[in-house]
Structures are given as structure tokens and as C-alpha cells.
Amino acid sequence: MIERFHKLKVCINKALIDIEYDTKFSDLEWSKIKDLIDSLQPFKLVAEALCRRDSTLLSAETALKFILEKLLTQDTVLSAELSEALCVRMKERRTIVT
């Protein structure tokens, strides 16, 4: 949904001008929306992959590594926070077998 919002950026700005609305989106806000889309895109791909019938624990592990790699290459504050939160959650969920 937010991808569509970003794709309609020009239309939204023109509509806000047409209705004489006081609030306008700045370039910084549009770039933050784009960063959000880019940071959430790996999660979307992985969720679709894990919802397949043939997904296994191995594919889940590979998917998590994929997310972490993608987030680390983006080099944004949001992607860094998401990767850190994902790492913390993974450590909480995993047990050490002795």
C-alpha cells in the first residue's frame, strides 16, 4: 500500500495543491517513505517465500540471512534498526543444544 502511495507522489502533491491543503510533503519526507519501502521489501519477499507449501527450516534460515544481508547493504538508520531488532529476536528464539 505504501508503494502505491509513493508511486502516486506527483498526483498526491498536485491534489494537495488543488484542494489548497496547508500540509505538503517535503523531499525529506518522500525520501523517508522510499527508505521505508526499501527496508520492508526484503521482508515482503521472504514472507511470500515462507508461505509456500515447500518451505522448510533450511529455507527459513536462508531467508533470514537474505533479509540481514539486504538490510546491511542499504546503509540507512531504519535498516540498521530493523536488522538489529531481527538479530535480537533470533537470539531470543534460538536455543543452544548441548
Domain count, the chain: 1
What confidence score (pLDDT) does residue 67 get?
92
Q: Give the per-residue pLDDT at 98.
A: 62
- Domain assignment present for 63: yes
Averaged pLDDT of the chain: 89
Segments in 1-95 forming alpha helices (H): 2-7, 9-18, 27-50, 57-74, 77-93
Range 72-81 average pLDDT: 89
Residue 98, domain member (yes or no): no
C-alpha Rg value of the chain to the nearest Å: 18
**0.75 surpassed by pTM:** no
Q: Can you give the residue range of the structural domain that contains 53? A: 1-93
Give pLDDT tens digits for 17-48: 899 888 888 899 999 999 999 999 999 999 99
Does residue 19 lie in a domain region?
yes
Mean pLDDT for the stretch of residues 42-58: 89
